[in-house]
Chain A
């Protein structure tokens, strides 16, 4: 276990990011099941288009719900901030970043629409990966 107080900055940052990501995913999950269009600024229907696209679900499971689980996992990893928590956070945020990169590619090049909530979540996941990687680096040195 990592001694208490070590890696406090990345832990706090990861926790804050995970809570933000959790809230975004919870909102998108709710709009999915309620059949509502997510609030989207700017040119109107990008969020609705992305959230209603064929890529918004994986084997019937909304991608937003997968995000909710991932951010829930990150919150848990920040709560168990020992070796296990740090490695768990690294694993989840790396999977999340890779998958977010794929989803962003789909938005830009396949769906031709941008969802600001999804982009915000992708950015959060990348920063979460940086935090988890910093903590992991300290652990492996």
Chain B
């Protein structure tokens, strides 16, 4: 190292290293902000039939019952990393129908979020709202599920009549629906989320510990049998 050279002096090199470090860290920050969100939620589901909490063609040979809690971190990860592939590979072409079994067992914020999503489902916009909830998921029971937060997501949901949605989610709405899901979860032995139950002409399969998308493909192949 030439200590007297201008460009290669230790101080110049140090300044260069600091500049490089700032650029690299900034690049990571930008890439971090880009990742993880689905394209426009309404666009993503366009062309796929939605009926309440059901997504896909009514006569699809395979039905996937998806047990999720909107505050469950692994449900959020599943929804961001695997669910779009499930929709693109199987739901969009009518092979699979997904039925949301919305659970609310992690705390009061889960109940509030579930009611908001089910209210969107009353207008057949459950799924875009569901995606927005998971994309904006924060710490469990940290108080982030405020009316303002939920309304903001409703306003981002294309086609949703927000005032009607506000009326539908008011008070103790959907209590019976949430209790019914809880009851179905008990009878199906669901005690954690996300849990996926597959039903098709060839029988039934259940995934509790989901780590790989191949598990989903295998379960669909197994129950479809075609």
Spot the interface stretch: A3-11, A16-24, A73-81, A105-113.
A105-113
Closest B residue to A47 using CB positions: B73
Whole-angstrom distance from the CB of A38 to the nearest CB of chain B?
Answer: 11
Asked if A112 and B142 sit within 8 Å, CB to CB, the answer is yes
A-B contact count (CB 8 A): 96
Closest A residue to B12 using CB positions: A140
Asked if A34 and B138 sit within 8 Å, CB to CB, the answer is no
Asked if B144 and A54 sit within 8 Å, CB to CB, the answer is no
Complex contacts, A63 vs chain B, CB 8 Å: 32
Give residues of chain A (70-116) contacting chain B, Cβ–Cβ below 8 Å.
Answer: 83, 87, 90-91, 94-95, 98-99, 102, 110-113
- Contact partner of A58 (CB less than 8 A), chosen from B13, B35, B37, B77, is B35
Given A87-B13, A140-B10, check contact A52 B139 (CB 8 Å). no
Asked if A94 and B140 sit within 8 Å, CB to CB, the answer is no
Asked if A45 and B211 sit within 8 Å, CB to CB, the answer is no
Complex contacts, A59 vs chain B, CB 8 Å: 31, 34-35
A33-B211, A60-B35, A90-B17 known; 19 other A-B pairs, CB under 8 Å? A35-B211, A45-B73, A45-B139, A49-B73, A49-B137, A49-B138, A49-B139, A52-B73, A52-B74, A54-B137, A58-B28, A91-B17, A99-B25, A102-B25, A102-B28, A112-B138, A112-B139, A112-B144, A140-B10
Q: Is there a chain A Cβ closer than 8 Å to B21's Cβ?
A: yes
Q: How large is the interface on B (under 10, 10 to 19, 20 to 34, 35 or more residues)?
A: 35 or more
Q: Taking chain A's interface residues, is the majority helix, strand, or loop, or is none over half, making it mixed?
A: helix
Asked if A140 and B22 sit within 8 Å, CB to CB, the answer is no
Complex contacts, A54 vs chain B, CB 8 Å: 35-37, 76, 80, 135, 137
Asked if A53 and B10 sit within 8 Å, CB to CB, the answer is no
Asked if A136 and B14 sit within 8 Å, CB to CB, the answer is yes
Complex contacts, A35 vs chain B, CB 8 Å: 74, 209-212
Complex contacts, B22 vs chain A, CB 8 Å: 98
Q: Mark B15-26, 1 if CB is under 8 A from A, else 0.
A: 001101110110
